[in-house]
Amino acid sequence: MYSLLVQMHSYLRYFLLFLLLFLIIRSFYYWQKRLPYNTQTNIIGLYLLICTHLQLVLGLILYFISPYVSLTNFSSAMKDKVQRFFTVEHASIMLLAIILITVARIGARRLQTDEAKHKRLFFLNTLALILILGGIPWPFREAIGQGRHLLFHFF
């Protein structure tokens, strides 16, 4: 069960990153070309929101069952790079990114002009992308990424 959840959490990052990048490029293009905010943009944003919140649910479950998170012995966990990363850094960076993606969507829909909508989507989602890329325990990251794979079990 635990390993299945880690796998799902690991794979879902690629759907999330793909949708996020797609929405960023699209909103930038539509903003620059002054094109209307349309149903497709809205649907991509909705899929991204679903994906992001699913990742949040998986992350929250993992937070309470993962051996890499230590809540009972918090002070000694802070001295260990890997435990500190998953207990504090990864969770808080990703929560912030999820808040940005959520605010980008809700905020954009409330704005009056299409230009303002695309601009908001572009800036907040770009910030979220930077945070996510920095907060992922990539296999090439020293200590944190040790034993992790780009594609679970493959490479």
Q: Which residues bind ligand HEM (CB under 6 A)?
A: 6, 9-10, 13, 16, 52, 55-56, 59-60, 62-63, 66, 68-69, 86, 90-91, 94-95, 97-98, 132, 136-137, 148-149, 152
**Amino acid at residue number 72:** T
Cβ of residue 15: shortest distance to ligand HEM, in angstroms?
10
If 0-12 CB within 10 Å is exposed, 13-18 middle and 19+ buried, where does residue 76 land?
Answer: exposed
| Residues 129, 10, 61: CA angle, nearest 5 degrees | 100
Closest-by-Cβ residue to ligand HEM is: 59
**CB under 8 Å to 130, separation ≥6 — which residues?**
none
How far apart CA 36 and CA 8 sit, in angstroms, is 35
Cβ of residue 82: shortest distance to ligand HEM, in angstroms?
10
How far apart CA 69 and CA 91 sit, in angstroms, is 10
State the CB neighbour count (10 A cutoff) for residue 18.
Answer: 12
Minimum CB distance to ligand HEM smaller for 3 or for 112 = 3
How far apart CA 155 and CA 150 sit, in angstroms, is 6
Minimum CB distance to ligand HEM smaller for 31 or for 104 = 104
Minimum CB distance to ligand HEM smaller for 6 or for 116 = 6
Minimum CB distance to ligand HEM smaller for 69 or for 124 = 69
Cβ of residue 74: shortest distance to ligand HEM, in angstroms?
15
Cβ of residue 36: shortest distance to ligand HEM, in angstroms?
29
